[in-house]
Structure 1
Amino acid sequence: MASALKNPSSSRNIPLDYRRRHLLWVGLAVLSLNLIALLLSEVFILSSFRDLEEERIREHADRAVNTLAREGEFLRRMVVDEAFWDKAYAFAADPGSNDMTGDMTAETLEEGRLSAIIMTDAEGRILFSCGYDLDAGSESSVAPVLLENLFPIQKRLTEGEIGSVQVGLLFARPYPFQVAAAPILKSDGTGPGRGMLLYARELNPGRIDKLGELIQLDLGIDSEKNLQTADSGVAVRRQGGTISAHVNLPDLLGRPGGALDVTIDRLIYSRGRASVRYFLCWTLGSSLLFALLAIWLLNRVSRLDARRAERDRLVRNLLERSGEAIFLIGMTDGRVLEANPRGRELFPLKEKAPRAENVFRTPEGNPFWEELSGQVREGLGNFSAELQNRSGQALWCEGSATQVSGEEDHYLLLQIRDVSTQKAAEDALKASAERYRQLFENSPLPMWVVDMENLRYLDVNQTALETYGYSREEFLAMPVLNPRPAGDGTRFPEVVSREKGGEDSVGPWPHRCKDGRILDMEIVRKEIPFADRSALLVMAEDMTEKESLRREADQVSRLAALGELAAGVAHEINNPNGMILRNLDFIGDILSDALPLLEKEGEAGLQLGGLDFSQVRTEVPQLIDDMQQGAGHIRDIVRDMKDFVRLDDPSDDGPLDLNEAVATAVRLLDGPIRKATDAFELQLGDDLPPGVGSSRQIGQVVLNLVMNACQSLPDRSRGILVRTRFDPAKKRILAEVIDQGRGVAKEDLERLTDPFFTTRREQGGTGLGLSVSARIVKQHRGTLSFQTEPGKGTQVTLALPVA
């Protein structure tokens, strides 16, 4: 390919007259082109920009006038609200009839941004007037121009239709006023009118500047200027770098008014003039460049023709038959000199010899040529990059660049292969790997990967980190025996051998969290290849809650069995106890009848059962009463036990008597209470409203709470208070169990209702009482709260909604 660049033909054989004649034509073409460009820019382009800026300033003038009109409309609405009012109507007729003036204070003017308020009667006499300096924020005298024009304004009101309002400008020195005047009418807008209410706002420079800031324009009002303009009422003037529009503003009373000035910078014209200058400079530069290029071409045409012919003859077949895109690029100017059909297919060349930085660009639009030429100079010819052709198509390319030398210049031979298909396949593979990575990371179950060779953690997902409480670095740094409790590692060799034997699940297995909690985890494992090594994919499922539910189900089953047993025992006890009660009544009747008959014998020293008749007469009835009470107590205990252990069903839910449920629970615990304390007190509230729910379930909750209170007392001198009451503010019925026991530690308070949590494990506590109670209370839409102080006791409050 280098030989194609040798022996360029000389340009000295080009005739001198031929070159001069073409040089003259080039000069005339350059001069004509610049004159035409100058004429076109002045006649057409700049005049268009002037028309455009005049149109823009007229639009701004319309905005400014509309802004003043909106201000006037706001003022009109304010004065109408006050003038069309029965209170103002009465005040105009009799100023002493109400405190109308009390509503028109300095605060009223400040809030309404008003400079004056004036009220007159039907004859034009001023009933009330108040001036205000908005800049100083204090009261001031009413402007003379307002007082002088009260009569003409009121006259215009009376001459118009009833309810008409006069809104406009009063021009005076130094500043005009925006005025709104309305007749004083009734609230329904009927008359006759009793005077006039006038609101005025001074349009001083500060107020005008605020209006200008509102619409982002430079505004001004000249009270003495009224221009003679066209029908549009807008005069446009240009001065230096600004353009102004002057709009005639009529006076409210038809007198000569003033003018509104709107001024803006001539940005449109300035930018247009800059564009024209740029265009002319570009035209001149292009013309000169064209002239220089034409001269250069005249000197180089024969030499380039010879070089191109030689190059074409040597490399044409190679370029056209190659399956790779091949480009020949000049090193000094970076122009693409040649491209084979494959190259033109991948990177279409829309112009002859384009610059390489315009052909080879990244998808972000950055030129790739500079980076590539720098690599070639450093001896790094191979490259891989994503390029974008002129059609916007992104291609992933690999290739090489080689520097070749000719007789007069250095060239770059660029070979490019389109590997977009292979790259897309690689990207799809990476995307697939990322999807599986996301499945691993976002799995709802804890997962990790273990190296089977050195038994170290290779990876862990976010769920595992959140479950065990470790950071990723802490988890991966742990030995594989963690997070198992100390002493539990003896099972691990067995588990590994079982895995190799094909088993894929182990559990439950206790795992220790970072905060010390122990979780029962069900493990599922699968041997997988991971990073070119044998690894174990482990997935864990927390079985703690399931185990808790199973234990609770077992407890419920045992309670159900106990209930069936209690029902049978209660039946066997009730039969003989009922017989005792009936016989005691009969014996009592016999004794009542026999005592009068034995009265005479008793006086003679009669003895019965070794007792004197006087003792029999006093003690035997008492003994019968004691036996009746004891048998009745047995009957109540059996009845309460049957009610307590009886399984509930939805039909049991109904009106709930909290006092009865609490009293029943206390009767059942009479023995444990007497054994635990000498200071037990039961206070049942009066007139408690009924709740909704199961009396047996609520009784079970109270029974658990009282039993816990008895078990917490260190000695019999400590007391227990059980009371019920009604909270009218929250509409809740409350049962409170207050003991003077040992209390509960703060760190255990939040876990009191957790299943199987107990502080009495050594004394046989199961940790299910409060858990079952909390669930029952939740089913009844109630709450169970604890207040405790270690060493002083605990108060448990059961709150239930009323029916």
Structure 2
Amino acid sequence: MFDNLRRYTAAYAVAIGGLLMTCLSSWNVRQELQTSHFKEFQWAAGDRIQAVHSVVDQGLDALLEIRGLFYAAKGIEEQAFRVFTDSILKRRPYIHSLLWAPLPNASQRALPGAATGTSPADPAVANGREDAIAGPPRVPVLLAAARTESAAAQGVDLNLTVELAALLRRARESGNIAVSSRIDLVQPGNATVPVIYAVLPVYSPGHSHSTAATLGARRQADPLGFVVGVYDIEELVHVAINLLEPRGVEVLVRDDSAGSDKQFLHFYASRLEPRATSTASGRMPVYDEDQPRMEARIPVGDRNWSIICVATHNFRSAEAFTEAHWTVLVGGFLFTALLTFYLVRSRRELENRIQLTLTIYEREELFRQLAETVDVVFWAINAEATRIEYIGPAFRQLAGREAMLDGLAGAAPSLLLDVFASDDRHTLLEAIRQLQAEGERFTVVLPVSRGERGLRWLRVCGFPVREAGSPLSRIVGFLEDITEHKLAEDALRDSEAKLRTLFNHSPDLIFTVDGEARILLTNRPLPYPVGGVGEKRSELILPAEVREGYLEKLRQVFRSGRIEHFQYNSSDATWWEIRMVPISSANVVTTVMAAMVVITDITENRKLQWQAIRSARLASLGVLSAGIAHEINNPNHAILANAPLLARIWQDALPILNEYEQEQGSFMLAGLSFEQARQTISRGMRDIAENAKRIQKIVDNLKHLGKQDRGHMNELADIGKILHAVVILLDTRIHKHTDAFTLDLPTALPTVKGNVQQLEQVFINVIVNALESLPDRSSSVKVSARTEQAGNRLIVQVEDQGKGIAEEVMAQIGEPFFTTKADSGGTGLGLSISLSIVEKHGGVLRFEANHHLGTTVSIDLPISTEE
């Protein structure tokens, strides 16, 4: 018994230690899981608090958007108000209704919705305001938009309700958004909806910015009216949290600015426990009092809300194994049991190894007997290659009958090496040294002329033998006669080398295919995979749109035995020609065994053809441009001559008309009041002259296509002034495409020597292209200018957040007649002319793709050295 205990001491020690370590590890894992669980709750609660805060801010921003609409429109009708607010209601489903309620004493001032009236400084208006202050002013609803019919109807006085009257008073005193406490709004059918009201006062444009300087003026001046928003509290919290993943978190929203009995706003039960409800006082359910919780306060207008998040008993943690400590405990017990069983079994098996050693020795002896009877020469040397440990008797046939093979134990390796020539012996020694250094097998083929068979070729293989405790114990290997195989392989290699030389030096891609379009042989490595493992599909070399046509042509070659060919162009604007030649058997001519496919690049030939066509088109365009310029110039000269005369006539007649208006009162001209007609005619006179000049510039550009005219290149161009003028010229188009146009210029920019009109044309073309590439109005275009660090170059950059430029299009930018906007009337001449103008000014026009989206166009111009 004591003998067995001593034999299995290690197994007992492993079992006891394993049990102790397993229990300790299980306890440690349980503590880590509890800590991780609390952190997961904090992250989930923070997401919900942030979501509610963000949705509340977005809802209040709707009031600012409506105020911005009123300021921008300078007068708005009910239809425009409804269209604008319907868009807001669709995007924000928690907004119950939006109202516009003007103050009666402000109806005669310049407020949104009023066509004309006296100014705020009018004494009559001031008296009206004072009268209004004497009593509670009426605040009737003028415009209303709501999801249901329960919104306040037009004409309802908001001051009739005590809570709304107090809310309007707070908004007027602060000049900012004021928010009410929870109010139960009665719906049709006596159903109530908990809502809050938010009120934003709208002042005249002179008081439109909330700065410290205007707050005092706001308190002294009445607002034009109020923008009122009604928000469904339950829908607001639902929209904020519903998009988040259900994690088992309950949310309680309270109004800290209200009294203790009115603080409760809404309780959002977890979707994992939908039956949970809060108490009447706004507290969490009793069963959640011992759960982890997180509380945060957020500002809502002039009030403060509290958001309390509590983890439910079903809170979902991101941990994959919430009961991992039990897994560690059970796994540790199992591992300890298995290890103990392994040690016990290993001890038992050790007793059997002695018997196995005798069996292995017998098998080694049997192997030696077999090795000595075959023609292959087996050999073994020590790890240092200083003595031969074994060499097979078949070595006598290689070394000659005179070789003494008896008593080889301890012999030098020279016995093995002497059968080879001096250079071949050196090769074999290098292979042995490399095996000693790297421990990898080697194979060399060497000639030998000794022995009974004359010149023979031997394959010499060596293998490392490793034992426990030693990186290399010995080196073993064999010598094999491969003369016949070597001669046949050399003859085949020579024949294949000659054919491969002719095949590989072809500039075309050549390969042979079978009847299933599988590649049999190719003259060069294919540029990309053409099928799965062991399969090479020839049609995968070609673009997807030409594969079906290629396979049909290939089937015709195998059916008819005739040569077929066709051409196609790839996505990188290169042209290719494919020729398919049938390969027939020498015995059966009518049977097509395979087909040779030759793919040739014919891009240069196609480019020469296109260049000839393009040259003819440019010549025709030059003649056409001259004719068009002449036809346009004649009527445009008449416009340029008459426009100043009409402007002077109008200026001379204007005093007479002003005097007539003072004597007779306002009168109509062409259906317009005299005030409107005076502004319209003055603006029209300026537009006629400016647009006539623009027509003249366009005509000059047409002449530029037909004639290489350098123009006046000695002007000192102020790039800042040119860019400001271009932005003013493109003002209508800019507002049509984007709301985020930026012109970022330093205070002073150096001048550039050249032609001002041509540089203006370049900037117009580049900015218009950037505007037309924008996908929507929220995308931006930024125009900036800076000087290089060296101080001799000026760089103007136009960055857009448009659709970007594809790589194949980028390679063709600037080519005449190349355009991606042919459907919308593009001619492909704008950038071509711009490149020509920039090059004349000694500059560079570059196009770069942005990291995320859009394109940056850089116009690099030399700075003038003249003062």
Q: Which TM class, normalised by the smaller chain length?
A: 0.3 to 0.5
Between Structure 1 and Structure 2, whose CA radius of gyration is higher?
A: 1
TM-score, length-normalised on structure 1?
Answer: 0.36
